[in-house]
Amino acid sequence: MITIKDIARVAGVSHTTVSRALNGNPLIKKETRDRIEKIAAEMNYIPNYSAKSLVMKKSYTIGLFFSSIDQGTSASFLVDAIKGIHSVLDENYSLTVHGIDGIQHFDAILPQRFDGILVMSQSDADNAFIYHVKKMGIPLVVLNRHLEDPGIMNVVANDREGVKEAIDYAVSQGHSQCAIIEGKAGFKSSTERKQGFMDSLIVHRLPLIPEYFAAGDYGVESGYEAMCSLLALPEPPSIVFCANDDMAIGAMNACYAKGIHIPGQLSLIGFDDILFARYTNPALTTIHKPVADISKLGTTKLIDLMKDPDTAPEQLFVKTALMVRQSVAAV
Amino acid sequence: MITIKDIARVAGVSHTTVSRALNGNPLIKKETRDRIEKIAAEMNYIPNYSAKSLVMKKSYTIGLFFSSIDQGTSASFLVDAIKGIHSVLDENYSLTVHGIDGIQHFDAILPQRFDGILVMSQSDADNAFIYHVKKMGIPLVVLNRHLEDPGIMNVVANDREGVKEAIDYAVSQGHSQCAIIEGKAGFKSSTERKQGFMDSLIVHRLPLIPEYFAAGDYGVESGYEAMCSLLALPEPPSIVFCANDDMAIGAMNACYAKGIHIPGQLSLIGFDDILFARYTNPALTTIHKPVADISKLGTTKLIDLMKDPDTAPEQLFVKTALMVRQSVAAV
DNA sequence: ACAAACATTTTTCACGTGTGCATTTTTATT
DNA sequence: AATAAAAATGCACACGTGAAAAATGTTTGT
């Protein structure tokens, strides 16, 4: 392996000069710099990142942490996040992927190992981790879950507003018997979406019927079961909002099984806009959650934070969008 | 930050002794070792991985490379791979995720940066990268795509055999007019699956009808279009095998659109067994591709290779499994 | 012409760790 | 008790890089 010392020998200068020349330090004369750069290129010099890391106390690594990799994280979520991040991240940073639930010792989460950390957070349980990162002074952006803490950079979708708009739309289509299949208990997103649902009903002076609030856990199966219980009610709803698309697909299956026609007999709205929402039968009307955009914006902010740790933390909201398809009928 | 020198000072020994004690070097007396370990624990010592990397020429990093992150890689694929790897990877290794198409300079792919590399390969185009890695002497396992090269550790599913079994099953249900929607041109998996399809037809003395070979590209839309063209034939097939589930879902949508009932009028078989295959209407009969198992086995082999670079390369096959659901009717 | 200011480069040191070899301490053997 | 052998520990250096301080060469000002 070629080192700056090798280049120095060839160029007839000290290794420090080489270092400066290659790092754009203005103390070096232009001709010297050009000559050294040329030699470095010819010799196929590639910097040793371990040595750089040691001396610079930088790792050239960004950590992406999900609440869990195994459980509760949908595939599209993970992929869209990675895509969004890669689209703005400099090539000589590498991105490592972790599940917070898989970490044995927070001790291993150190500034020397991560130049910055993105937490794609889904639950309050992540807070212990988040505050550890903050305490260690590692530049940090929390994505996807709204934090109350104004000291932490935070990028989220306005789930609540998005759901409200969707239910407003449903009401405008003539629906008044609106039910919800809620997300996983303890997840911030669950309460946010439920709030948006209620916001709309309240604005439209529609009653909040306790039987129309069915529990779910974001899993496909839970959507199936929740829908079964809603259909079993003496007076079933005319429309059901599912707190994510996976549950909407489960709910749709329950309708197939019971012979309920969508949207003829029952309308359905999802949340997330996963790839397959477009391809259910009928195509699912859902709220598009811009995971890639969130990740992109979050990464941009993280980079700012890494450049200048004193960048003021912000609470940023990315807009959701209602995707009107075929699962909601006018009554 | 605490260093071994700090510990050495407290323990009244040299930093060398500390280093040895903490690394299980047998040259150290048991009592000394115990004392040093205790002090290290009390002082909350955490080794500096940059320094370790520099001197050991190790990076404690495993790279996971997909052909592309943006295009052609389905979400479940990426997630299952990450899950499988995490399940066997030691905690003090970190996993970085990359798209081969996003790499500007192969020069950055060095032994000093990666202790080992897993390539989740989908196309021949990855070969340039694969051989670069091999040339650099980085322990390497290629997953998912069968390589001819016996010098490279390779873990793949037996797609061909899996498809053959599925078509055998279709034939046993009385089907004789079998069509295929092929995968993306240039992808090894496309030809493998097509081969399996033909293997079965040939064994059963069924004709290979050119019109029944429709082109696809693994995308949902291509499945839709291919199915439309098959349905437009004067004599449409009785069963269609789709080279992946995404296309099967697209094909299913084409049938909805044309009012063709599945499996009443047409049967359908997919490949991959993605999460949603279970929840289409009807539930999709498909071939389960054990991505997580492939990743797991591949990682195990990579670890072997990292421990002993002379480990003999193998070509390992992981079994697929036919998941019989409701999209194939008996005729 | 000589000092002062400036530009450029080199010298020396540090970062935290592991290792070959020398040195000291302990144990075993005679 | 003397000696050899073995066990335990320390010294000095290396890894590749960057930065402060020092040194050298060059220009400017009077």
Q: Give the distance, in angstroms, between residue B2 CA and nucleotide D4 C1'.
A: 42
Cα–Cα separations (whole angstroms), residue B63 to A135, B93, B316: 29, 10, 20
Q: Is B209 exposed, middle or buried (0-12, 13-18, 19+ CB in 10 A)?
A: middle
When CB atoms are compared, the residue of B44, B98, B281 closest to A256 is B281
Residue B273 lies in a domain: yes
Q: How many beta carbons lie within 10 A of that of residue A98, not counting itself? A: 21
Residues B83, B149, single domain; the answer is yes
Q: Give the distance, in angstroms, between residue B27 CA and nucleotide D6 C1'.
A: 11
Q: What is the model's pLDDT at position A77?
A: 84
Residues B269, B304, single domain; the answer is no
Q: What is the model's pLDDT at position A75?
A: 78
Residues B112, B204, single domain; the answer is no
Q: From CA A72, how far away is CA A78, in angstroms rounded?
A: 11
- Model pLDDT for residues A219-270, shown as the tens digit of each residue: 999 999 999 999 999 999 999 999 999 999 999 999 999 999 999 999 999 9
The enclosing domain of B39 has a CATH number of 1.10.260.40
Give me B322's structure tokens: 């036919």
Q: What angle do CA B239, B243, B247 make, to 5 degrees?
A: 85
Q: Is B232 exposed, middle or buried (0-12, 13-18, 19+ CB in 10 A)?
A: exposed
Q: From CA B41, how far away is CA B38, in angstroms rounded?
A: 5
Residue B23 lies in a domain: yes
Residues B23, B100, single domain; the answer is no
Check whether B330 has a pLDDT greater than 90: yes
Cα–Cα separations (whole angstroms), residue B168 to A12, A251, B164, B199, B242: 73, 34, 6, 9, 15
Residues A118, A193, single domain; the answer is no
Chain-centre distance of CA A250, in angstroms?
A: 23
Q: What is the model's pLDDT at position B69?
A: 87
| Coil, strand or helix at B228 | helix
Q: In B106-126, which positions are buried (b, 16+ CB within 10 angstroms) versus exposed (e)?
A: eeebbbbbbbbbbbbbbbeeb
Residue B331 lies in a domain: no
Residues A243, A267, single domain; the answer is yes
Residue B242 lies in a domain: yes
Across all strands, nucleotide nearest A4 (CA–C1'): D16
Q: Which residues of chain A have pLDDT under 50?
A: none
The enclosing domain of B217 has a CATH number of 3.40.50.2300
Check whether B107 has a pLDDT greater than 90: no
Contact A284, A300 (CB under 8 A): no
Point out the least confidently predicted range of A7-21, B102-116, B187-201, B224-238.
Answer: B102-116
- Model pLDDT for residues B119-159, shown as the tens digit of each residue: 999 888 999 999 999 999 999 999 999 998 999 999 999 99
Residue B174 lies in a domain: yes
Q: In B20-53, which positions are buried (b, 16+ CB within 10 angstroms) versus exposed (e)?
A: bbbeeeeebeeeebeebeebbeeeebbbbbbbbb
Residue B53 lies in a domain: no
- CB A23 under 7 Å to nucleic chain D: yes
- CB A32 under 7 Å to nucleic chain D: no
What Rg, from alpha-carbon coordinates, does chain A have?
26
Q: How many beta carbons lie within 10 A of that of residue B71, not counting itself? A: 12
Q: What is the model's pLDDT at position A41?
A: 94
Q: What angle do CA B64, B69, B72 make, to 5 degrees?
A: 120
Residue type, A118: L
When CB atoms are compared, the residue of B46, B50, B82 closest to A107 is B46
- Give the range of the structural domain holding residue B32, as residue numbers without chain letter: 4-46
Longest dimension (CA), chain B: 90
The helix-helix angle for B30-42 and B15-22 (nearest 10°) equals: 90
Contacts with A70 (C-beta within 8 Å, 6 or more apart), sequence order? A99, A101, B83
Residues B179, B278, single domain; the answer is yes
Give me B66's structure tokens: 């997909």
Residue B246 lies in a domain: yes
Phi and psi, residue B317, nearest 5°? -115, 135
Q: Give the distance, in angstroms, between residue B14 CA and nucleotide C24 C1'.
A: 14
DSSP-derived secondary structure for A26-86: TTS-HHHHHHHHHHHHHTT----HHHHHHHHT---EEEEEES-SSSS--HHHHHHHHHHHH
Nearest residue of A to residue B292, measured between CA atoms: A70
Nearest residue of B to residue A251, measured between CA atoms: B279
Cis peptide before A234 (omega within 30 of 0): no
Question: A249, B276: Cβ pair inside 8 Å?
Answer: yes
Residues B83, B229, single domain; the answer is no
Cα–Cα separations (whole angstroms), residue A156 to A123, A314, A320, B157: 13, 11, 10, 39
Give me B227's structure tokens: 């199915």
Residues A150, A88, single domain; the answer is yes
- Model pLDDT for residues B237-289, shown as the tens digit of each residue: 999 999 999 999 999 999 999 999 999 999 999 999 998 999 999 999 999 99
Q: How many beta carbons lie within 10 A of that of residue B250, not counting itself? A: 25
Shortest alpha-carbon distance between residue B24 and chain A (Å): 20
- Sheet strands side by side (includes B321-323): B213-214, B178-181, B239-242, B267-272, B285-288, B321-323
Contacts with A102 (C-beta within 8 Å, 6 or more apart), sequence order? A68, A69, B86, B91
Question: B112, A86: Cβ pair inside 8 Å?
Answer: no
Question: A108, B102: Cβ pair inside 8 Å?
Answer: no
Residue A213 lies in a domain: yes
Q: Give the distance, in angstroms, between residue A5 CA and nucleotide C9 C1'.
A: 15
**How many domains in chain B?**
3
Q: What is the model's pLDDT at position B75?
A: 78
Confidence of residue B92 (pLDDT cuts 50, 70, 90): confident
Residues of A in contact with B69 (CB under 8 A): 79, 82-83, 86
Q: Scan for tokens 């001819």, then name that residue.
A: B148
Q: Which residue's CA is nearest to the C1' of nucleotide C26?
A: B29
Q: How many beta carbons lie within 10 A of that of residue B104, not counting itself? A: 8
Residues B224, B121, single domain; the answer is no
Q: Residue B317 pairs with which residues in a beta bridge?
A: B156
Residues B149, B188, single domain; the answer is no
Give chain A's length.
Answer: 331
When CB atoms are compared, the residue of A82, A92, A253 closest to B108 is A92
Question: B82, A69: Cβ pair inside 8 Å?
Answer: yes
Indicate left, alpha or beta for A218 from its phi (over 0: left) and psi (-120 to 50: alpha): left
When CB atoms are compared, the residue of A79, A96, A110 closest to B95 is A96
Residues A175, A274, single domain; the answer is yes
